[in-house]
Every structure is written in C-alpha cells, then in structure tokens.
Amino acid sequence: MLRFNQRQIEFVFRARRRHGEVFRMRTSMPGGLVVTSHPDHVRSLFTAKPEEAPSLAGESPLRPIVGPNSVLTAVGPRHMRQRRLLLPSFHGEAIERYTRMISDAAEREIDGWPVGRPFALAPRMQAITLDVIMAGIFGIEGRPARDTPEHWLRFATKRLVSASTMPLAQIGELMNMAREEAVGLTRAGLSLLDRPTYAVIERRRRAADLEERRDILSLLLRARTEEGEALTDREVRDELLVLVLAGHETTANSLAWTWERLVRAPAAHERLREAVRSGEEAAETIEATIVEGMRSRPVVPFIGRRTTVPWRLGPYAVSADTPIGMSILLVHHREDLYPEPFEFRPQRWLGRRPGTYEWIPFGGGIRRCLGATLAMAEQRVVLEAMARRLDLEAADPAPERALHRNVTMIPARGGRVVVRSRLN
Ligand code: HEM
C-alpha cells in the first residue's frame, strides 16, 4: 500500500509486467483491491448499473475531508440528484462566460513571469484556475476587499492547496485513511477554510440578488429536494469544497505536466508554437497536445468501483463486494492502443478521437468528471496563450518525478521552466 501510495508509477508498471493486465493487491481493505487496465473491463465498469458498481470515492482519502454527502462521495439516488443539479453549471453558456475570464487571467499571469530565471509553473497555473473557480463557484470575481469573508476564503484556499503538496501533508493523509471525520493537520487546515466558507454561505443566503445570481453557491442555496427541503449549510459546504478541491488543483497540474513534457519534446513543442503563431491547424494542434499531455500524465491516475455482484474481468471471476481499480496510467500506456507509449507525441491524435474506454483521464459513465468541459476549455486557453507569447525551456533536462497527493499525481518540482523570451 505504501509503495502504491508513494511510487504508483513504478508499482503498477512492475505489477503489470509480473502479473499481467489484471492483478490483485493486498490492501487494508478486506479482499484487497483488484486492478485492471483493459478497455473492455473499463467499459463494463463504466456502463454498469449504478447500484452494481458504485464509485470507490466514498471510501477514498477525500471522504473525511468532504464528507459522505457530496456529489463526489455520495452513491445512489443522492448522487444522481446532486449531479443533475450541478451539471448545467458546467456546460455551454456557462463555459463561454468562463473562457473570457480565463483568457484575461492567463495574459495577466504571463505578463508577470520572470525572464531568464527558473520558476515552477504549477503555482502560477493555480493562480489562474483559482480565479476561475472563485468566480464560477462562489461568484467572487477579481480580488475581494480585505477583511471580507470572500477575501479570507480566497486566501485560505490558496494556502491550503499549496500546503497540501508539502511533505507534512502526507502524514496528514495517512492519519486520515478510512476515517469518517478529518483529524490532525488536515482538520486544522480545514477549519481555517471552513470559517470563511460558512460566512460566505451565510451572507449569500441573505443576498438581495440571490434569485438572479448564476454562481454555483447561489444555485445550491436555491435548490430544493422533491420534498421541498433546502440543503443544510453543511451540505452546501461539502459540495463547494468538492468543487474547489476537484476543480482547481487538477486542472493546474494537468497544465503543468503538459508543459513538463513539452519542454522535453522539442519536435512537439516547435510544432505547437508554429501552429499557434501562424494560425495554421492551431486548434487541432492545441487539442492534440492537451489530449497527449493527459494521456501521458493523467493527474488522477487511478479510479475505482466496488462491485456489489459477482463480476467478470475477461477470464477472471471477481466475487461480489470487491473493490476494482482502473489504472488510468496503465490503460494510457498500452502498446496496442498507443505504440511507443512512453513517447510524448501529440501527432498520434491528429485525425483520431480519444476512445471512450481508452483515454480516460476524466473517468467515465455516470461518475464522469463534472468539470471535464471546463477543464478542457481552461487548458486550451492557457496553453494557447503560453505557446503564442513565450519561448520556454526546461529548468533542468531530467524529467520530473511524480508526487502522489491524495488522489492526484503532480510534478515533483511543479514543472520548473525558464522563460527565454516573451512577446507582448
Ligand atoms: C484536468 C482536470 C481534471 C481532471 C483530470 C479530473 C479528473 C476527474 C476524475 C478521474 C474523476 C472521477 C471519475 C470517475 O470515477 O469515473 C472526476 C470526478 C469529478 N470531477 Fe474532475 N477532473 C478535473 C477537473 C475538474 C473540474 C474543473 C471540476 C469542477 C469545477 C471537477 C469536478 C469533478 C466532480 C464534481 C467529480 C465527481 C463526479 C461524480 O462522481 O459524479 N473536475 N474528475
């Protein structure tokens, strides 16, 4: 378990070499964890009846943090209800509104980066995605006035997310495994965030324009169950926290990884810059680069379901009530789907659409990432602006290792680069 947590890449590749594409790990869970990387098995789990293969997220390290009732951790009818409520906020018109905001935030960020001096991209990407999340989820735009709950909420979110990548955070994570409520450092950190969150919820409940507001917090406050009941403050807080945690660090690190790969893949980097600067095949090249970045470094490398009935994974019979993990990393590095899988090669995507059960950085089925459209839009806009305006190099030619934090996999040094020159 420790090796899987600390060095998942080495662990899963070695296990597949030794045992094949289905293997069972011994874990703290009774019956262990069965792991697969076959697209047919992925399909069977993604298309299963919800009650036969509920998500493992409800048992994940996120549960003590966001509680059992959020869209990510709930199962069954409650999950579907929350999903239906939130879905429209992540589509169509809403995304268009965010795109302009992302573009402004990206240009502003790029203006402030040092030239000729190494720095880590991940925190800079997080500054952009934080603005987007604050606006979309809380309806907080720009920099809120000091000493308002909105200001403290933004501040605490930023601090907590950067603290969660520090070595101490891992201890906190281990302490919180399989718990109902957070303890220790995680609990202390959460209470820092909770205070301004509840204050913002309280203020928004009383806001005169609550009915017209389009942010997700206002939407949650207006929502009623079929019995006409409103969500409690705790339920609203859990949902907001999921969206902040799921929505901001993931996208930022996905971008940091794509650049970590690009600055070490000169041909792909050059092709992207040329396409963006000449405008020729720009959209396709940007898309292919992001898809390849998420294939080769999926920020969430592993997802799971708990089958409640006997299951078949090809020749293997799995008994009921067994957790089954899908290694996104292994699926994305299958030779039969992606020849020379360890090469970063965006061209493999030109004229090819990512397969629903073969390219799964956002998971799938009724648990597919709610923010996938937003995350793709953010990545397109930021990647374009960076490729258009910057000549970037790796700060150090050696590839960055992966650090595993909670359910995510992030570049160990945050994607360190040097800006050689910048266009205005
Ligand atoms: C590159 C960025 C992102 C990646 C790689 C990512 C990845 C994932 C994955 C793998 C899942 C689990 C799917 C499954 O079990 O089948 C998930 C679920 C989820 N994601 Fe994302 N995500 C990203 C961005 C976002 C954003 C921007 C938001 C929202 C603001 C978001 C909100 C959620 C939610 C609410 C769920 C739970 C959905 C459910 O269980 O019904 N994610 N994401």
pLDDT digits over 108-137, tens only? 999 999 999 999 999 999 999 988 888 888
User: What is the reported pLDDT for 294?
Assistant: 98
Q: What is the pTM of this model?
A: 0.92
Rounded Cα gap, residues 123 and 42, in angstroms: 33
User: What is the reported pLDDT for 185?
Assistant: 63
The Å distance, Cα 154 to ligand 1 centre, comes to 21
The residues of the chain scoring below 50 in pLDDT are: 168
Rounded Cα gap, residues 68 and 66, in angstroms: 7
Q: Which of 388, 371, 341, 361 is nearest to 98 (CA)?
A: 371
User: What is the reported pLDDT for 418?
Assistant: 98
For ligand 1, what atom is nearest to the CA of residue 57? 15
User: What is the reported pLDDT for 13?
Assistant: 96
User: What is the reported pLDDT for 262?
Assistant: 98
Query: Is ligand 1 within 6 A of the CB of residue 55?
Result: yes
User: What is the reported pLDDT for 246?
Assistant: 85
Rounded Cα gap, residues 168 and 229, in angstroms: 41
Query: Is ligand 1 within 6 A of the CB of residue 135?
Result: no
Residue 281 · residue 288 · CB < 8 Å: no
The Å distance, Cα 10 to ligand 1 centre, comes to 24
Q: Which of 360, 369, 381 to mutate to test the pocket of ligand 1 (most atoms within 8 A of CB)?
A: 369
- Taking CA atoms only, the protein residue closest to ligand 1 atom 7 is 362
User: Alpha-carbon Rg of the chain, whole angstroms?
Assistant: 21
Mean pLDDT of the chain: 90
User: What is the reported pLDDT for 132?
Assistant: 86
The Å distance, Cα 405 to ligand 1 centre, comes to 15
CA 254 remoteness from chain centre? 8
- Give me the residue label for tokens 């290694």: 327
Q: Which of 41, 138, 362 to mutate to test the pocket of ligand 1 (most atoms within 8 A of CB)?
A: 362
Residue 223 · residue 240 · CB < 8 Å: no
Q: Which of 253, 293, 264, 273 is nearest to 407 (CA)?
A: 253
User: What is the reported pLDDT for 357?
Assistant: 98
Structure tokens at 43: 């399909």
